[in-house]
Every structure is written in structure tokens, then in C-alpha cells.
């Protein structure tokens, strides 16, 4: 096959343009080895451009989350610094109280940082979900270990309905379900019951969580899945529900809600769509 000098000069110029950030389209849709070479060069450049865009997206997402972490840590850090300064001049009773408060704040900070970094990974597509057959009872075992103490404190019960077989990532789905259950506990009275059910239909597999509260207002629902905008518990950060939604979206799923009302509790349903 003969390639003339002019064609080589044009290809060399195109490669240099690519190096300078320009994007000439060198494809000519003709037969032959030389045309395939130009097509391959163009495809390689496009692939590298997409990789760079994805890297920039991940960097921007991580930057936003780090800014959120910094903002949210200011208050507990300031509080701990004040308590630390007061420790030396305090009596034994106050000193013990300050130490307990500092430990509590440290635990909150650890959970906040961990949750936000998980959300950053999820939103940037850096998490690889490992789907497998999981029964709801398996997920509930993981959930109970995380909320057992809170259930005892509020004298609440966690009941399970149908034990459906689901196809999902057990660890991540258990984390999403735990956050939904915690939200249901916040909106349920002392002595209340949180019911978790599951099932499968032609379109999706689902897990529902129903609290025993009085339902939610539409204005409350609007802020549930926005970071830091919703928490009825003074110890919360308002990121449990957004994290749950990110996990479900990462598994080709979503979270729907029936707000309840008139004495009927709200129901949140985690759905995993079938391919």
C-alpha cells in the first residue's frame, strides 16, 4: 500500500494538534490499513479525553465533599477545644463529663468523615458493587447489629415480613437499609414498631421500611435526601438518607416513599430494577 508524503504530513499535524488539546476529526470512513490507523488514533484520543474528564469529575466531587467535611467539623472541633482547656481546672465530676463529651464528638466526627468519603466514591462511580443472592434475613442480621442499642433505649421493635431472595451487594445494601431503618426509628415513638418487608415483581426487587409515626409532610420529604438539610435528631448530620439513595442508584435502583399521614407511618421502599 502506498501512502504519499502529503497524507503523512497531515497525520503528523493532526497528532500535534491532539497534543495541544485540539480535536480534529481525522476519520475518513474509507477502506485500507491507513484509514484504519487514523480511525484507531482518533478512537485512542477520544478515550483518553473521556478518561481525563472522568478524572476531573472525580476530583471536583472529592473537593466538594472535603469542603463539606471541613465545614461540618468546625463546630465539634471548637467545642472539644473549649472542653480540653477546661479540663485542668475542673473537678473530677466535670472532668469525667467533659471526657465523655469529647469521646462522643470524636465518634460523630469519625462517622461523618467515613460517610462523606463513601458518598464521594459512590457519586464518582469508584465503587464496584458485587451482586449476589441475599435474603432479607441476612440483611436484617447486619442491620440489627447496628441499631440494637438504639432499639433498647427507645423500647422499639424491629419486625420482618417476607424473607425474599434479593440480588444485590450485601454490605452496601445493608448500609443503605440501616440508614432507612434509623430514619424510621427517629420518626417512631418510644415503644413503637418498625416493620421491614420485601418482595419481587416483574420489574424490580424491593425492601420496604414502615415506621409507626404520624407520617411526613411534603416539605419534610423534599429535604430528606439533601445533605445536611434534614435531621430530626440532634445527634444526626442529615446524610444517612442521601447515602442510602447513592447506594441504591449505584445498584440500578432507587428509593420511593409513601408519606403516610392521619396516624399512618411513612413507608420507604428500596427498589433494585431488573435488567
Residues 159 and 70 in one domain: no
Residues 118 and 165 in one domain: no
Residues 42 and 137 in one domain: no
* Of the ranges 40-44, 100-104, 208-212, 235-239, the best mean pLDDT one: 208-212
Residues 151 and 254 in one domain: yes
63, pLDDT greater than 80:
no
How many folded domains does the chain comprise?
A: 2
User: Each residue of 210-245: pLDDT tens digit?
Assistant: 999 988 887 777 777 776 655 444 444 567 888 899
Residues 162 and 249 in one domain: yes
Q: Quick one: pLDDT band at residue 3, thresholds 50, 70, 90?
A: low
Residues 119 and 77 in one domain: yes
Q: What confidence score (pLDDT) does residue 235 get?
A: 43
Q: What confidence score (pLDDT) does residue 244 get?
A: 92
Query: What are the helix (H) ranges across 88-190?
Result: 92-123, 136-154, 170-186
Full residue range of the structural domain in which residue 90 is found: 1-127
Q: What confidence score (pLDDT) does residue 190 get?
A: 93
Task: Identify the CATH number of the domain in which residue 172 sits.
Answer: 3.30.565.10
Cα(179)–Cα(177) distance, integer angstroms? 5
Q: What confidence score (pLDDT) does residue 234 get?
A: 41
| DSSP category for residue 261 | B
Cα(133)–Cα(198) distance, integer angstroms? 14
**Domain limit, last residue, from 106, 127, 148:** 127
**Domain limit, last residue, from 100, 127, 154:** 127
Mean pLDDT of the region 96-102: 85
Residues 117 and 224 in one domain: no
Contacts of 237 (CB under 8 A, 6+ apart): 72, 108, 112, 115, 228, 231
- Choose between 116 and 153: higher pLDDT: 153
Q: Percent of the chain scored above 90 by pLDDT? A: 36
Long-range pairs of 79-84 with CB within 8 A, sequence gap ≥ 24: 79/105, 80/105, 80/106
Mean pLDDT of the region 128-143: 94
**Quick one: which H or E segment has residue 208?**
strand 204-210
Residues 242 and 115 in one domain: no
5, pLDDT greater than 70:
no
Q: What confidence score (pLDDT) does residue 1 get?
A: 54
Q: What confidence score (pLDDT) does residue 232 get?
A: 45
Task: Identify the CATH number of the domain in which residue 46 sits.
Answer: 1.10.287.130
Grid coordinates representing 100 are 465523655
3-state DSSP assignment of residue 202: coil
Cα(254)–Cα(237) distance, integer angstroms? 22
Q: What is the mean pLDDT of the chain?
A: 83
Residues 17 and 85 in one domain: yes
**Domain limit, last residue, from 127, 155, 175:** 127
Residues 240 and 146 in one domain: yes
Amino acid at each position: 500500500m502506498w501512502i504519499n508524503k502529503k497524507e503523512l504530513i497531515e497525520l503528523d499535524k493532526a497528532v500535534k494538534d491532539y497534543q495541544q488539546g485540539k480535536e480534529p476529526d481525522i476519520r475518513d470512513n474509507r477502506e485500507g490499513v491507513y484509514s484504519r490507523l487514523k480511525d484507531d488514533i482518533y478512537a485512542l484520543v477520544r478515550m483518553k479525553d473521556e478518561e481525563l474528564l472522568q478524572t476531573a469529575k472525580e476530583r471536583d466531587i472529592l473537593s466538594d465533599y472535603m469542603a463539606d467535611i471541613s465545614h461540618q467539623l468546625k463546630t465539634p472541633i471548637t467545642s472539644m477545644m473549649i472542653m480540653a482547656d477546661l479540663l485542668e481546672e475542673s473537678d473530677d465530676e466535670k472532668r469525667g463529663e467533659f471526657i465523655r463529651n469529647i469521646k462522643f464528638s470524636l465518634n460523630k466526627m469519625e462517622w461523618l468523615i467515613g460517610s462523606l468519603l463513601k458518598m464521594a466514591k459512590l457519586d464518582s462511580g469508584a465503587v464496584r458493587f458485587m451482586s449476589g443472592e441475599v435474603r432479607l434475613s441476612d440483611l436484617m442480621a447486619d442491620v440489627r447489629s447496628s441499631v440494637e442499642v438504639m432499639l433498647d433505649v427507645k423500647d422499639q421493635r424491629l419486625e420482618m415480613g417476607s424473607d425474599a431472595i434479593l440480588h444485590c451487594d450485601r454490605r452496601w445494601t445493608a448500609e443503605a437499609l440501616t440508614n432507612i431503618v434509623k430514619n424510621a426509628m427517629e420518626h417512631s415513638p418510644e415503644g413503637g414498631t418498625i416493620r421491614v418487608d420485601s418482595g419481587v415483581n416483574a420489574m424490580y426487587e424491593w425492601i420496604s421500611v414502615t415506621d409507626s409515626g404520624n407520617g411526613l409532610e411534603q416539605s419534610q420529604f423534599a429535604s430528606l435526601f439533601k445533605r445536611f438539610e434534614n435531621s430530626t435528631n440532634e445527634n444526626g448530620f442529615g446524610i444517612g438518607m442521601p447515602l442510602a439513595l447513592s447506594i441504591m442508584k449505584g445498584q440500578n435502583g432507587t428509593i420511593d416513599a409513601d408519606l403516610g399521614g392521619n396516624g399512618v407511618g411513612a413507608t420507604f421502599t428500596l427498589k433494585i430494577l431488573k435488567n
